[in-house]
Structure 1
């Protein structure tokens, strides 16, 4: 019998009602229950009060020395009693446990767990038990599970314990012996027992180490096996543009590609020329030149007789890309269209018709591109920018508008390579790790609000030298809840502070035409200081802007701050980022420190991940990042790397597909439907 097929109802003590409640936690089988791991442990091991710090939680063996005193306050009560542990006489206090009064008889042994207050010689008791009634918890580490509804900690502990008694011997080993030996892992049966019932913390850590590796290895095995089986199954468009044609376009660019850009360009063109579907993630720091790579790929698609689509998160960015692509493509007779929510009426109708007839070669747009009435004559390449802003479903809808078009996904939120592969599924990853030639590092400073006068002087000096500045704030209008600068007030005060300069205002509630006009004025240096909310965060490119000032910077996430900083430093002049913040929290202070320590996006991302954890970092619900049962993508990152290498080399061996040694793993893949070729996005 296989515990993955035995219903959880077979565990003694699980009623039909409780079974339904367990289903809500995703627990349907005995295996699900045994893999429902605790997220921490309560330490009920006995200690001496002499080694406990003030305010610490502790479990002690004590003797009752005095009569209990009960005080009532309406429905609430307070019970106190003198007890002795080691040589310490102290007062034990229980709240709302009046029913214990008759059991607290002088001379009786009692085990107490609670918070120790050394100054007052008292303990606030959270748990107590009498050894003469049979020890339940004390002396051990007790697992703490995520529970709710009618399922309590005590019931969960008892039920998991019962499942281990009934089915523990049936837990199969799934990892091959050589991997267990290589990492000195606990046998699976022993690890699952000890993760729920560790004798001590070292044993708990060893059990966790085993199950973390297994979980990450099995996840990577699914990806690698899917990849091996489907790499040659997903027929796509075979692009035919030759090297000479592409080289001619690259030579016409107004700058020379960096070595990193050339390497990435070759990787992408190789994928596009193969008859199979490309699925590639291009990640690079802010301003590393990803858009140029996208332009080369789109050029190759059009020169192969097809169309390309470029999906971006904001209208401002879409309009900017249309401008820059039109400039690059016009000499080659390639037409570029714009499709956003603001393109309506006749213009929209004409564009949709031209797309369907193939009269528009490249279309740039927001999520308006995935609406039902958008059809292409021959869509062969989809580029998505800042892909974490689009859900998995949005990306796949666009992909379905052609016959398995090649997909190039771009992100300026650089993340470690393996993490990128894990987060974004079955993708090849290209990384632009080099700054374009001539791109200068940006100097970053953190100042408190009381130094605002000096900041205004800095703005004035930069503008007098012919440069421009951004001033970013978190909110559009005043909010009673948040004491933060808002764009409209800030715009008014900056207009008064700089009567000789033109100050502009940009925020999300303006119409597309209003935003476009403000950005046009800023490009043309008719506006010298742009007060804006974060609508300028992604991709806006004004080479003459050298100063980025961010108000209440501690209210922004690290990757957002880094994106904003990347709006400057795009021209030949030295550029600066000034963070204005009085952070109250440690996290806020840490963010300011990271920003002033480094302007390397990969390092910023690594530290952001450590501060926030993967769920927030990727926006889990949108990006399809797996939520693991026990592994943590931040702290277990090194294990993830190892697991990926192990899975990839195993899948590459013929023995994996034939030898009986690996049949548990093949059985696992079968159960997960990977061998049926189910698509992993």
Structure 2
């Protein structure tokens, strides 16, 4: 949108008076440009319907004539029920208004009325949401009306009127930003027309046309930002070209207690190549649960430390930080590499000593939670930042850690496999490395879906595994009993299993425990001092207990597919055959499809593909802070083909010398300047 629309305060729109600018600001709207960018998420259809064509429960608009006197019942001073008979196409319909007693005088016999509401087919009742009298100004009858996401005192009616007024006042300032060749290539409607039709379509087809145009623009501009950033920064010599001692790194890899897979070797070669370049590495390392991402990251950290720099590994939980610290200590002990740990529960005195050692360079690698990005954490010579389970951290958190060094290289890891094309497209500023192979000797986990009626058989299965010296996880969706949800909770299940297995030690782990308690429980489970561990999803990420061979998930239909796959990945880490039992009674089709997907395949990438189809990317990545772009109109799954096309178009444009110099691309240069691309800022 033209830059000047974003410089015009929204209070300049007629009708935006009093507290309305503040109320709009709560929606993120401060300028006229913001208001016109605030698109409706659906439309209400006020087309008058024939009652013969509607179904019970439909939201409908009908036109009829009032017959008889309205009846009013008051319940106290405020609540009321107003009923009136109207005749619609020779049918007598009872119209019902709740808490609209003031309308009684308007409902005169013989008056024409247009009513919108919920239809009750059996009783011929219409529960009225909106009423109109034909002939009045601003009638909605026969139109599509936008529905906006609103809050506070702002009403849909006011929002519609204000947006319409903004288009009347400022619509002529809306300028085209897409190159004409792309508008022509795809037969897109003009920008001014598209924005007007998104807010005020006369038909659903028009609304779809306008959406198609603006979705392409949104995705194209996002991809242009990514492609321009890559073009300007990929060969920028403001990073550190680490002088790696490759023979020493190769000796470290040969000394590992296992042989790397071909996939691990290839990914490691890509990372080591990047570390030696003078530009900042920004690489996403993704791989299925158990694919061996950690040892790849550890080797990269080893290489950087041997080149004279420090490394940082940021993880989402204290349990995971402790585990990584232990495994890195074990790997690096023969090489004299000092590994520190910084979490929220480190005592103040120990923390001060740790921070001093870190700043002096006495600590080579620091492992920690978000405590690493707090003030006062300074490095002597930070060369590589690794973030594990990167979708748990917002882009802001990652960039704070990055700024603690002189543009250190960044490796982000995720065990939530993202379909590669989506990863390349969404993380356009990152290079993507994927581990597809599992280490040799790992047996596929056998997965079963059962109903709650089979609980006795499941308990027998647990008893069998434990009697053979193995351990079991039992996962529940809630900590305590909930009145709203009829699902198993960890505290109740823990009590039930203690009763069912009096000879076994049954532990309990959940997110409300203190970090020290959680750590104590996990240590006991890791040491085989607990036979069964009842837990919420706090064990989902990274914890490694090779002796655990059975994962039981209560109310599995309550979890997303990728989360279930993460949970399943907690077992199958040792030499024995492992199993996953999903206890579920899914009531809807999505729940049934999730269970089928889990029993069909162990492939995390296939699971991720199905999860995206079932849930959409917002749920898939968990939060708005996933690092994925938060689009106004575009949907990462539904509009994926458009995203790919926009990426190709942006890359093609950026490769032409003409793009960087021709005045015809002025609006795109303006957009890139607003996004600070020309200031060499990192996209984080």
**Structure 2 length-normalised TM:** 0.90
**Residue 417 of structure 2 aligns with which residue?**
414
- The correspondence for 1:14, drawn from 13, 16, 23, is 16
Deviations along 1:9-31, whole A, 9 cap, x unmatched?
Answer: 44333335433433333333332
Match of 1:37 among 39, 47, 50: 39
Residue in structure 2 matched with residue 224 of structure 1 by the alignment: 227
Aligned-partner Cα distance in 1 for 2:158–2:683: 37
Distance 1:152 1:245, change over 3 A: same
State the distance in 2 between where 1:89 and 1:341 align.
69
Residues 1:376 and 2:386 aligned together: no
TM-aligned CA deviation for residue 227 of structure 1:
3.0
Which among 42, 58, 63 is matched to residue 60 of structure 2? 58
Deviations 1:227-266 (A, max 9, x none): 3223344612211214433322222223332232222112
Determine if contact 2:223/2:428 at 8 Å carries over to the other structure.
no
Partner of 2:202: 199
Q: Go from structure 1 to structure 2 and tell me whether the alpha carbon gap of 1:239 and 1:620 turns closer, same or farther (over 3 Å shift).
A: same
Cα separation, 2, equivalents of 1:620 and 1:511: 24
The counterpart of 1:28, out of the listed 22, 27, 30, is 30
| Contact preservation (8 Å) 1:553, 1:561 | yes
The Cα of 1:603 is off from its aligned counterpart by 3.4
User: How does the TM-score come out when normalised to structure 1?
Assistant: 0.90
Q: Which runs of 5+ in 2 are unaligned?
A: none
Question: How big is the shift at 1:539?
Answer: 1.2
State which of 109, 115, 119 in structure 2 corresponds to 1:112: 115
> Which runs of structure 2 are paired with 1:515-534 in the superposition (5 Å)?
518-534=521-537
Is 1:132 the counterpart of 2:135? The answer is: yes
Q: Deviations over 1:477-519 (max 9, x none)?
A: 6677776655566455545544555545555566666655654
Over residues 75-100 of structure 1, what are the superposed CA-to-partner deviations in whole Å (9 max), with x where a residue is unaligned?
Answer: 44444333333343333333344444
> What does residue 213 of structure 2 align with?
210
In structure 1, the partner of 2:329 is 326
Aligned-residue Cα RMSD (Å) equals 3.1
Offset of residue 287 of structure 1: 0.9
SS in 2 for 1:539: coil
CA deviation vs aligned residue, 1:522-546 (integer Å, no higher than 9, x gap): 4454544334443432212222321
| Shift in alpha-carbon separation, 1:374–1:670, aligned structure 2, 3 A | closer
Cα separation, 2, equivalents of 1:566 and 1:176: 48
Aligned mate of 1:458, from 456, 461, 464: 461
Structure 2 residue aligned with 1:189, among 192, 196, 212?
192
Range 98-107 or range 396-405, more displaced: 98-107
Distance 2:604 2:403 in 1: 33
Deviation at 1:145, TM superposition (A): 1.8
After superposition, the Cα gap between the structure-2 partners of 1:17 and 1:344, relative to the gap in structure 1 and judged at 3 Å, is closer
> Structure 1 pair 447/367, CA: closer, same or farther in 2 (3 Å)?
same
Residues 187, 292 of structure 1: alpha-carbon distance in 2 compared, 3 angstrom cutoff: same
Aligned in 2, Cα 1:649/1:468: closer, same or farther, shift over 3 Å? Answer: same
Q: 1:621 to 1:60 in 2, by over 3 A?
A: closer
Which deviates the most, 90-99 or 663-672? 90-99
Deviations 1:282-339 (A, max 9, x none): 1111111100110111121022122222222233322322332233333434333334
Give the equivalent residue in structure 2 for 1:469.
Answer: 472
The DSSP-based 3-state class of the residue aligned with 1:114 is strand
1:236 aligns with 2:239: yes
Residues 199 and 533 of structure 1, relative CA distance in 2, 3 Å threshold: closer
Residues 52 and 359 of structure 1, relative CA distance in 2, 3 Å threshold: same
Counterpart of 2:192 in 1: which secondary structure?
helix
Q: Distance in 2 between matches of 1:495 and 1:60?
A: 62
**Is contact 2:282-2:409 (8 Å) kept?**
yes
Quote the offset at 1:549 in angstroms: 1.3
> Gapped runs of 5+ residues in structure 1?
none
Asked if structure 1 preserves the Cα contact closer than 8 Å seen for 2:391 and 2:627, the reply is no
1:282 to 279, 282, 285: 285
Taking the aligned partners of 1:30 and 1:523, their CA distance within structure 2 comes to: 59
- Other-structure match for 1:309: 312
Matched residues in 1 for 2:104 and 2:372: separation?
A: 71
- Which residue number corresponds to residue 579 of structure 1? 582
Q: Provide closer, same or farther for how the CA distance between residues 402 and 147 of structure 1 changes in structure 2, counting only shifts above 3 A.
A: closer
Deviation, structure 1 residue 458: 1.0
Matched, 1:400 2:397: no
Whole-angstrom CA distance in 2 between matches of 1:98 and 1:346: 68
State the alpha-carbon separation in 2 of the partners of residues 154 and 350 from structure 1: 61
The 2-side partners of 1:158 and 1:6 are apart by: 19
Q: Does 1:335 align with 2:360?
A: no
1:583 to partner: Cα distance: 5.0
Cα distance in structure 1, aligned partners of 2:83 and 2:323: 72
SS in 2 for 1:204: helix
Q: Of residues 365, 369, 373 in structure 1, which corresponds to 2:368? A: 365
The answer on whether the counterparts of 2:86 and 2:94 sit within 8 Å (CA) in structure 1 is: yes
Change (3 A) 1:87 1:177: same
1:614–1:620 contact (8 Å) kept in structure 2: no
Does the aligned pair in 2 maintain the 1:84–1:90 contact within 8 Å? yes
- Tell me the secondary structure at the aligned position of residue 5 of structure 2: coil
1:437 is aligned, of 440, 454, 469, to 440
> Contact between 1:418 and 1:640, CA under 8 Å: does it hold in 2?
no
Q: 1:146 matched to which residue of 2?
A: 149
Measure how far apart 1:207 and its partner are. Answer: 0.7
Give the direction of change, closer, same or farther, for the CA distance of 1:70–1:502 in structure 2 (3 Å limit).
closer
Deviations 1:435-486 (A, max 9, x none): 2222222222222333222112112222334433222334556677776655
Distance 1:510 1:147, change over 3 A: closer
TM superposition shift of 1:382: 1.3
Kindly provide the CA deviation profile for residues 186-219 of structure 1, in whole angstroms up to 9, marking residues without a partner as x: 2112111211111111111111111111112112
Q: Provide the rounded CA distance (Å) in 1 between the counterparts of 2:436 and 2:228.
A: 29
Q: C-alpha separation between the residues in 2 aligned to 1:88 and 1:511?
A: 66
Once the two structures are superposed, residues 387-435 of structure 1 have per-residue CA deviations (whole angstroms, 9 ceiling, x without a partner) of: 2333434333332332221111111122234544676673222222232
**2:677 is equivalent to residue 671 of structure 1:** no
